[in-house]
Structure 1
Amino acid sequence: MSGKADWATKDYYAELGVSKDASADEIKKAYRRHARANHPDSNPGDNAKHEKFKAVAEAYDVIGDAEKRKEYDQIRSAPMGGFGGGGFDMGDLFRDRAGGGGGGFSDMFGDLFGGGRQRAARPKRGPDVESSATISFTDAMDGVTISLRLTSDSPCATCSGTGGKPGTKPHICPVCEGAGMVAATSGGAFTLNETCPSCGGRQLVYDEACPTCFGSGRGNSARTIQARIPAGVKDGQRIRLRGKGGSGENGGPNGDLYVTVKVTAHRIFGRKGDNLTLDLPVSFDEAALGADIKVPTLGGAPVTLKIPAGTPNGRTFRVRGRGAKRKDGTNADLLVTIEVQVPAVLEPAAREAVEAYREAMSGKALRSNLFTES
């Protein structure tokens, strides 16, 4: 049902493609022809035809009813004193208000009673979807494409989101009169618009609800997608994949998919920021005398690390370019920390050598500074 405030500015005859003196039968035939050609069930995803369908349904609701048509014709061409005594278009009158800048008869009523019309169903962005994935330490460094099984909210597959039983015809929502919104009193001086509870903002209602979604127009869909996890991702990092979330409504864009990545621990490598870490066991003699030691790298050939004589336990060396990939495409470093190993059991020859070393160092006051008064 259309609000009468709109009648002065809408040419329903032109919308149906009939003359103003067309018979009721001609009007009905024109409506059926347009409805069949533009019905949403026959044109899924075609927003232009959906809008045309709603427009012809609104026109037929008025001029297809004898009483409403009579009243509509009177409003569209009403004689009024003071304007030359002849017929005139009230839409032209109210479009001329305030210097001609107004939006017409219905806009004037909108200004007075809390906002203008909202006829077209606005595109609605699809919901965002959350998921998680567990990948190996190596895949986190190199990047990997994974398969994700997602379940998300989407238009009902049975009714294509209309909310009506397939094969049934919709009509303009009687609660919101096809606006998709209704006025809600906030308790104060202001009136706010909210989604129509009858049609859910879809503007049309069906006499029989969809047996699958029970008229909601929404359902759950399960799908498998391929998601690219970039190189260098960290444990616990949240990756955003644009447009991979829930489906939009009325031509709106899809939502986004957010994937929380869990990275399994590596046997020998760790991570500190974008740098990889490695604890390198060295013997006492290697630390004391110096040595060239081969060090593994992740996914690459080993490198030779030169350990200077007298290297203390816990010292960290940097191997450049062997860490995780940074956002700018360069690689961070590998941090190698020395761990001097003390044998739990000594072979006789080794014990003899250590005792000789102790004897040689016996004159060194290693801890004398601990007992010095400051």
Structure 2
Amino acid sequence: MSKRDYYEVLGVARDASEEDLKKAYRRCAMKHHPDRNPGDHAAEAAFKECKEAYEVLSEPAKRRAYDQHGHAAFEHGMGGGAGGAGYADMGDIFGDIFGNIFGGGARGGPRRGADIGYVMELDLEEAVAGIDKRIEVPTLVGCHHCNSTGSADGVLEDCATCHGRGQVRMQRGIFQMQQTCPHCAGRGKTIPNPCKPCMGQGRLEEEKVLSVKIPAGVDNGDRIRLSGEGEAGPPGTPPGDLFVEVRVRPHDIFERDGDDLHCEVPLRISQAALGDTIRVPTLHGDLELRIPAETQSGKVFRLRDRGVRSVRSRAPGDLYCKAVVETPVNLTQEQRELLEKFESTFVGEGARRHSPKASTFLDGVKGFWDRMTN
């Protein structure tokens, strides 16, 4: 079966920059990594394919040879300009990219435990004030039956394949390279008598109960890292990390925009026309807000420093209150008669000066019809 073009494998153009190659490789490898696709042979093959493509295209000398000769550049001893050192460095490149994601590269021996994620839903008040929360996270923990060794009697023997080194040498043409021992997964040890509860893995599935301190001011999408609280790693390796992602539930009154809050303040027609002093809610108690006479619906009042105190800068945002003038409903007979008497005072051209938006609207309509008839 012929090999696919390396640029096609990574999904980049032939003039892609070094940074573009690295990003494309990261996406490809994360998608197909064996840890994320256990038992999926197609994903394993795709992972090896994108790794091979990056190994060639990330090194300038090899990339030039590939651009000139294609895959033939690395067959029958060609491509020697890259030198044996080029292959020796590939494990380091791989480790640089994935060291923080999977806990080690091709030469780093057994990987650490996987990172895990947890979504925590909070009320707006909890997110603004901060809170301590207890969570239950299903994960892999160290087996207490064998003290996380995987051995029922604590006996470990040197691996017969790698002789306890955790690495094996592979010959590729004229080049030699090291890779993690496939027999012991880089541990350098084998287990003659595996622990039955964990089947020699040194890990068990369990629900871990943790206390998480949520700092004041967090927002949707913020993540809190709990180092070492992820999945337990294979025996002899450190655990992964737990990332708690914050999701803030919609609020009945306030809508958050960064560190600012927005709300709507309903006003009666009389309050908007005559002016009034009303009380508006904030997350820290009610405040008085003066409504000036002749306030129009949609006017926004700004209350400084009444928003959310930023989790990063600790500077407070503002609260924006939007006036919404409501049409009265369920009128009594007396109220209806009063409104009818009030409406009767708006007669003739003089009525327009009491309705600024209506006046502007009518002028616009008149101009429109004048243009249509001329």
Question: Per residue, is there more helix in 1 or in 2?
Answer: 2
Of 176, 185, 193, which residue of structure 2 is paired with 1:200?
Answer: 185
**How has the CA–CA distance of structure 1 residues 127 and 178 changed in structure 2, closer, same or farther, with 3 Å as cutoff?**
same
Q: Distance in 2 between matches of 1:250 and 1:218?
A: 8
Q: What TM-score does the superposition give when structure 1 sets the normalisation length?
A: 0.61
Contact persistence 2:109–2:166 (CA under 8 A): no
Contact persistence 2:149–2:236 (CA under 8 A): no
Unpaired stretches in structure 2, ≥5 consecutive residues:
1-83, 89-106, 353-358
Aligned partner of 2:167 in structure 1 is: 181
Q: What TM-score does the superposition give when structure 2 sets the normalisation length?
A: 0.61
Q: Distance in 2 between matches of 1:147 and 1:344?
A: 47
**How has the CA–CA distance of structure 1 residues 148 and 351 changed in structure 2, closer, same or farther, with 3 Å as cutoff?**
same
Aligned partner of 1:316 in structure 2 is: 300
Q: Distance in 1 between matches of 2:175 and 2:145?
A: 40
Aligned partner of 1:304 in structure 2 is: 288
SS in structure 2 of the partner of residue 215 of structure 1: coil
Aligned partner of 1:171 in structure 2 is: 157
Contact persistence 1:296–1:303 (CA under 8 A): yes
Residue 325 of structure 1 deviates from its aligned partner by: 1.7
Aligned partner of 2:266 in structure 1 is: 281
**How has the CA–CA distance of structure 1 residues 162 and 242 changed in structure 2, closer, same or farther, with 3 Å as cutoff?**
closer
Residue 148 of structure 1 deviates from its aligned partner by: 1.2
Aligned partner of 1:340 in structure 2 is: 325
Count of residue correspondences = 256
Cα deviation 1:129-171 (Å, max 9, x = unaligned): 111222222111111110111232344333333332225x332
Aligned partner of 1:232 in structure 2 is: 217
SS in structure 2 of the partner of residue 279 of structure 1: strand
Q: Does residue 354 of structure 1 match 2:354?
A: no
Aligned partner of 1:151 in structure 2 is: 138
- Alpha-carbon RMSD across the aligned residues, in angstroms, is 2.9
Of 136, 145, 148, which residue of structure 2 is paired with 1:161?
Answer: 148
Q: Distance in 2 between matches of 1:209 and 1:154?
A: 17
The structure with the largest alpha-carbon Rg is: 1
**How has the CA–CA distance of structure 1 residues 353 and 293 changed in structure 2, closer, same or farther, with 3 Å as cutoff?**
same
Relative CO higher for 1 or 2, CA cutoff 8 Å, sep ≥ 6? 1
SS in structure 2 of the partner of residue 152 of structure 1: strand
Q: Distance in 2 between matches of 1:251 and 1:328?
A: 40
Q: How does 1:1-374 map to 2 (within 5 A)?
A: 124-167=111-154, 169-185=155-171, 189-247=174-232, 253-298=238-283, 300-326=284-310, 327-363=312-348, 364-365=351-352, 366=359, 367-369=361-363, 370-372=365-367, 373=370
Unpaired stretches in structure 1, ≥5 consecutive residues:
1-110
Cα deviation 1:201-233 (Å, max 9, x = unaligned): 221223222223333333334321110112222
Q: Distance in 2 between matches of 1:203 and 1:251?
A: 10
**How has the CA–CA distance of structure 1 residues 177 and 343 changed in structure 2, closer, same or farther, with 3 Å as cutoff?**
same
Contact persistence 2:203–2:234 (CA under 8 A): no
Cα deviation 1:75-134 (Å, max 9, x = unaligned): xxxxxxxxxxxxxxxxxxxxxxxxxxxxxxxxxxxx99x97xxxx996854321111222
Residue 293 of structure 1 deviates from its aligned partner by: 0.9
Residue 319 of structure 1 deviates from its aligned partner by: 1.0
**How has the CA–CA distance of structure 1 residues 177 and 310 changed in structure 2, closer, same or farther, with 3 Å as cutoff?**
same
